[in-house]
C-alpha cells in the first residue's frame, strides 16, 4: 500500500488534528480521483501535489 492510500484509509488518522498539514506530495503513480477526494477530506487545508519521476 502506498503512503497516500495508507493515510486515506487508516482509522488512526482520526485520532489526530490534521488541519496543520499544508502540503501532501505523491511521487508514485497518478492518484485516482476517488483517492484524491478521500485525501482532501482528511487533509482539508493541504495542497496535494503529484510528481512524475520520468527518467
Domain assignment of residue 32, given as a range: 3-50
Q: Which residue has the cell 482528511?
A: 42
Of 8, 6, 5, 12, the C-alpha closest to 41 is: 8
- Strand-pairing partners, residue 49, are 25
- pTM, full prediction: 0.70
Q: What is the rounded distance in angstroms from the CA atom of residue 1 to the CA atom of residue 21?
A: 21
For residue 11, is it within any domain?
Answer: yes
Is residue 24 situated within a structural domain? yes
Q: What's the rounded Cα separation, in Å, for the pair 49 and 43?
A: 13
d(CA 6, CA 4): 5
User: What tens-digit pLDDT sequence spans the chain (55 residues)?
Assistant: 577 888 888 899 889 998 899 998 888 677 888 888 988 888 889 998 888 777 6
Instruction: Assess if residue 28 is contained within a domain.
Output: yes
Domains of the chain: total = 1
**Domain presence at residue 55:** no
Amino acid at each position: 500500500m502506498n503512503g497516500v492510500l495508507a493515510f486515506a484509509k487508516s482509522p488512526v488518522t482520526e485520532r489526530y488534528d490534521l488541519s496543520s498539514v499544508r502540503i501532501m506530495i505523491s511521487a508514485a503513480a497518478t492518484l485516482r480521483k476517488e483517492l484524491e477526494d478521500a485525501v482532501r477530506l482528511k487533509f482539508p487545508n493541504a495542497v496535494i501535489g503529484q510528481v512524475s519521476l520520468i527518467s
